[in-house]
Amino acid sequence: MTVIDPRIARTPHAPGLFAALAPMDGVTDWVYRDLLTRMHGGDCGISLCVSEFVRVTRMTVVPKVILKHCPEVQTGGTTASGVPVFVQLLGGQPEPMATTAARCVAMGAPGVDINFGCPAKTVNKSDGGATILQFPHRLEAITAAVRKAVPDSTPVTVKIRLGWENADHVEDIARSIEQGGASWLTIHARTRMQGYRPPVDWSSIGRAREAVRMPVVANGDLNTVDAIEACQEISGCTAFMIGRGAMGRPRLFRQLRGHRDPQLDAAWLCEQLQEYAQRILEGGGTEAVALGRCKQWLRLAAPASDVYAGMFTTLKRSQDLASLLRGLRPEGIPSCSAGLALSPAP
């Protein structure tokens, strides 16, 4: 087994282990980022967070929208426990992408990430996300425009999938992005057409890594320490981004650094979801938003344990936030540690 350097690298260039939290639209908002990064008194093991994507169309995005996605720009560009948060932009036009990136940095973003990986049909139809993977010259032009618009010292990073239909061109894609001046590249080891279906293809990440000099961050199904070690072996990558795996196993970032923390139980998840909902409401979010986001967290945590899966099955039909939260009270859960059989949410 490879020994992983436990120091927290804030970039994949720095000494130590780089383990970032993946952006996940609909759940990894600032409240979630705060909850996760404050665990263990802030010693959460997370190197970096990336905001949910900010959609850029024809105009520079207004400050209000940037703030909504990434209020951390007002607090030094980090979560309350000091983990940097990059703002992620999604769009197909170099000019508004560049002016929006400049605005994000002027507002306090410590870095900008460009999303060329989103597989959503609505986004792809309107010239955003993974669609651009089909046009390497456009990947380069957009990356270069954003790079030019922000100070040299500000990282501009890019997140992609392996390709649109297959992984055959991943080297060309990576080279175009490097040519555009990206600081590093994160690759989700699936194609656009694959959606989220198995299998992940970590070996194609390795091909891209060998084609460029910039660091390549591996992403996709890195849900356990064993999976991350296997990915390291197969892709040769030493920097990682974790998404869905963090929803049910938030201690993974610490476990990777050698901490022997046990898996958290259902009581923990209930408590977190209660607080998550409460804080979304306090921040002006509607009950419908809080309900949707809590269900999304539960859905993504479900694969981590049978207990969480049981919670999701029971609570996914909750029609309103109050009934979901009632179902998340310890008395609604016969056993908070194992073999959970939840009483249905009223």
Ligand X SMILES: Cc1cc2nc3c(=O)[nH]c(=O)nc-3n(C[C@H](O)[C@H](O)[C@H](O)COP(=O)(O)O)c2cc1C
User: Is 118 assigned a catalytic role?
Assistant: yes
**Catalytically annotated residue among 118, 231, 237, 294:** 118
88 or 235: CB nearest ligand X: 88
Cα distances (Å, whole numbers) of residue 285 to 33, 71, 277, 281: 16, 14, 9, 5
Residue nearest to ligand X (CB): 243
- Give, in order, the Cα–Cα distances in Å from 167 to each of 196, 200, 202: 15, 11, 11
**Is residue 21 within 8 Å of 36, Cβ to Cβ?**
yes
CB of 159 to ligand X, least distance (A): 5
CA dist 335 and 53 (Å) reads 37
Nearer to ligand X by Cβ, of 118 and 145: the residue is 118
- Interacting residues with ligand X (CB under 6 A): 22-26, 52-53, 88, 115, 117-118, 159, 188, 219-222, 242-245
| CB of 15 or CB of 198, closer to ligand X | 198
**How far is it, in rounded angstroms, from Cα 24 to Cα 301?**
13
The span from the CA of 161 to the CA of 159, in Å, is 7
HSE at residue 237, side-chain half, CA atoms within 13 A, is 35
Count the Cβ atoms, other than its own, within 10 Å of residue 139.
26
| H-only helix segments in 78-120 | 94-107
Cβ proximity to ligand X: between 88 and 204 the closer is: 88
Between CA 34 and CA 276 the distance in angstroms is 10
Closest separation in Å from C-beta 70 to ligand X = 12
- Minimal distance in Å, beta carbon 123 to ligand X? 10
CB of 16 to ligand X, least distance (A): 20
Catalytic residues: 118
